[in-house]
Amino acid sequence: MRLPNKSALITGGTSGIGEATAMLFAREGAQIAITGRNEKRGHAVTAAILEAGGKAIFLRTDVRRAAECERAVNETVKAFGRLDILFNNAGIFYPHNAIECSEEEWDEQIDINLKGTFLMAKYALPGMIAQGGGVIINNSSGWGIVGGDKAVAYCASKGGVVLMTKAMAIDHGRRGIRVNCICPGDVDTPMLPADAKLRGLAWDEYMAGCANRPLGRVGTAAEIAKAVLFLASDDSSFMTGAALVVDGGGTAD
Amino acid sequence: MTLTPDHSRTLEGKSALVTGAASGIGRATSLLFAREGASVLLTDLNETAGRRVEREITEAGGRAMFEGADVTVSEDCRRIAQLAMEQFGGPQILLNNAGIMRRASVVELSEPDWDRVMDVNVKAIFLMSREVIPWMERAGGGSIINTASGWGLVGGPRAAAYCASKGAVVLLTKAMAIDHGPHRIRVNCICPGDTDTGMLRAEAGQLGEDERHFLDGAARRPLGRVGRPEEIAQAALYLASEASSFVTGAALVVDGGGLAGPM
């Protein structure tokens, strides 16, 4: 097992990449706290882990709110005794250009994707430093490195995540904290059909566009989870401040 | 779902070819690949040290074979690739790791040194990959990992040819990823920061600096230390294995935070 007796907190753990990572971490021996806004889905994920003999809790959390982030960290530590791994995964996407994007949509994407990552780290770091180390993994995007069409707020938020990752790596490396991010390309999660619908594109046409990359397909949530596991485990002990691109070659050209 | 973790070795039944396998990152990665179940064809200019790595692996119960070669010579690359195929099949994994450093500005650098750095660090990747890729295509896929450097992404002082060569490795990696992705061949590179190898210690000599003082400078990065070859090997293992099945064209920075920004 790669994460024996580790305690991990995963935001946005109720579906997609967060859910796949929760399952993989549990298989690798970690105790899992997941957050999300959908209680029904959250309890379904924890139930699957508990039934298989693992340890998991669901914490209904809106990562836009500082008090809720602080509570999520405290509840995790209360349940498992410590927090070793924080995966800032909660994210939201509206496909709009600058003219179409409403101020409310801008705020929602920046607050969940970027500010939520700051808030969770803010409350997780003191305990990690006190215990002598910890790992933070932030979920950015290929569109945190290159721009994309109709994604102004998303690109801004994810670019922010990449550079905040590096800034946090510099600040806390000497205290044994590693901070890295992943930059997934299009991945088969509930975010894709939602995006296709909002863009008014037929599913087949939309997916053909997503698969147009060197590996000729979209990724699976399980493949992204394996990248997160690599960054969470001691296998990446000399990595911090890095952006791990997992996109089937989509940003190679 | 089941919580039973997969205990099988990561590279069970795979065949790997590693250049620059006699020391440093190449040696550590060869040992790790073999421990994870791969059969490893080792090559290097340094035959004595190369055979020692072969012995280390076989005495531990692993499968490895060393064959000396100059990977800047196309006939040598063909011979090594053929040998890997005959001995172990495949290879499904190619680690283009052979590399050299010359600490010199363009004014200080001799033309033969420029040529040698470019030949070992870049041309050898081209020569070896073109031997191996057709087999990978026929076998339905493979993973190529090139050793680039943090100095393939940013510049460094008195390392003109090295930076040029490693920058070339990063973009050669992306170009190859685009060309061979449709054949399920993944091509990625690693960008290590300063790692405790013979090459790093030799740099102090090339710069005329005290080794201890040089290594103290190299440790100045967020994690406060230089890397160990075994840590770079773990990154290569991730890229070699199915764990990275959606990763291609990537430059994996493994540098203790050295490139995150000025401290």
Q: Does A173 touch chain B (CB under 8 A)?
A: yes
Tell me the pLDDT tens digit for each residue of A109-152: 999 999 999 999 999 999 999 999 999 999 999 999 999 999 99
Set A94, A123, A154, A206: catalytic member? A154
Q: CA dist A155 to A11, A109, A244, B20, B56, Å?
A: 20, 10, 17, 40, 49
Provide the 10 A C-beta neighbour count for residue A18: 28
Show Cβ contacts of residue B187 under 8 Å, excluding neighbours closer than 6 positions.
B143, B144, B145, B146, B173, B174, B176, B177, B180, B181, B248, B249
Residue B238 and residue A235: Cβ atoms within 8 Å? Answer: yes
The minimum CA-CA distance between B64 and chain A, rounded to whole Å, is: 23
Among the residue ranges A189-198, B107-116, B216-225, B237-246, the one predicted with the least confidence is A189-198
Confidence of residue B8 (pLDDT cuts 50, 70, 90): confident
Mean pLDDT value of segment A94-110: 96
Q: CA dist B226 to A61, B160, B220, Å?
A: 39, 22, 8
Residue B150 φ/ψ, nearest 5 degrees:
-55, -35
The CA distance from B165 to B100, in Å, is 10
In this prediction, residue B93 carries a pLDDT of 98
Q: List chain A domain ranges.
A: 7-188+219-245
In this prediction, residue A154 carries a pLDDT of 97
DSSP bridge pairs for B195: B227
pLDDT at A71 over 90: yes
Cis preceding-peptide flag for B91 (omega within 30 of 0)? yes
In this prediction, residue B1 carries a pLDDT of 67
A123 carries an active-site annotation: no
The minimum CA-CA distance between B166 and chain A, rounded to whole Å, is: 16
Cβ neighbours of A29 in B, within 8 Å: 5
The CA distance from A228 to A245, in Å, is 11
In this prediction, residue A48 carries a pLDDT of 97
Structure tokens belonging to residue A145 = 């490195």
Terminal C-alpha separation, chain B: 45
Mean pLDDT value of segment A188-200: 93
Mean pLDDT value of segment B94-107: 97
Whether B26 and B86 have beta carbons less than 8 Å apart is answered as: no
Whether B235 and A239 have beta carbons less than 8 Å apart is answered as: yes
Mean pLDDT value of segment A227-240: 98
In this prediction, residue B3 carries a pLDDT of 74
Confidence of residue B7 (pLDDT cuts 50, 70, 90): low
Confidence of residue B6 (pLDDT cuts 50, 70, 90): low
Show Cβ contacts of residue B56 under 8 Å, excluding neighbours closer than 6 positions.
B31
Whether A169 and B260 have beta carbons less than 8 Å apart is answered as: yes
pTM: 0.95
Structure tokens belonging to residue B127 = 């020569």
pLDDT at A47 over 90: yes
Which of B7, B10, B231, B246 would you mutate first to test chain A, the one with the most A CBs within 10 A? B246
The CA distance from A228 to A86, in Å, is 11
Indicate the burial class of A205 (C-beta count within 10 angstroms; 0-12, 13-18, 19 or more): exposed
DSSP bridge pairs for A182: A139, A244
Tell me the pLDDT tens digit for each residue of B126-140: 999 999 999 999 999
pLDDT at B181 over 70: yes
In this prediction, residue A54 carries a pLDDT of 96
In this prediction, residue B263 carries a pLDDT of 85
Q: CA dist B155 to A214, B43, B67, B122, Å?
A: 29, 29, 34, 17
Classified as helix, coil or strand, A190 is: coil
CATH of A7-188+219-245, one of 3.60.21.10, 3.40.50.720, 3.50.50.60, 2.40.30.110: 3.40.50.720
In this prediction, residue B5 carries a pLDDT of 63
Q: Which of A23, A220, A252 sits opposite B249 (nearest CB)?
A: A252
Which residues 125-144 of chain B have a CB within 8 Å of chain A?
A: none
pLDDT at B163 over 70: yes
Which domains can be identified in chain B, with CATH numbers?
15-195+232-251 (3.40.50.720)
The CA distance from A20 to A59, in Å, is 17
pLDDT at B38 over 70: yes
In this prediction, residue B166 carries a pLDDT of 97
Indicate the burial class of A52 (C-beta count within 10 angstroms; 0-12, 13-18, 19 or more): middle
In this prediction, residue B242 carries a pLDDT of 97
Q: Does A230 touch chain B (CB under 8 A)?
A: yes
Mean pLDDT value of segment B213-240: 97
Set B66, B135, B151, B162: catalytic member? B162
Show Cβ contacts of residue B63 under 8 Å, excluding neighbours closer than 6 positions.
B34, B38, B39, B40, B57, B88
pLDDT at B78 over 90: yes
Mean pLDDT value of segment A47-54: 96
| CA-closest candidate to residue B150, choices A167, A241, A159, A165 | A241
Cβ neighbours of B1 in A, within 8 Å: 23, 27, 48-49, 51-52
Mean pLDDT value of segment B178-189: 98
- 8-state DSSP, A114: I
Count chain A–chain B contacts defined by CB atoms under 8 A: 157
Element at A244 (helix H, strand E): strand A243-246
Residue A170 and residue B222: Cβ atoms within 8 Å? Answer: yes
Q: Average per-residue pLDDT in chain B?
A: 96
Whether A165 and A241 have beta carbons less than 8 Å apart is answered as: yes
Mean pLDDT value of segment B203-216: 95
Whether B210 and B204 have beta carbons less than 8 Å apart is answered as: yes
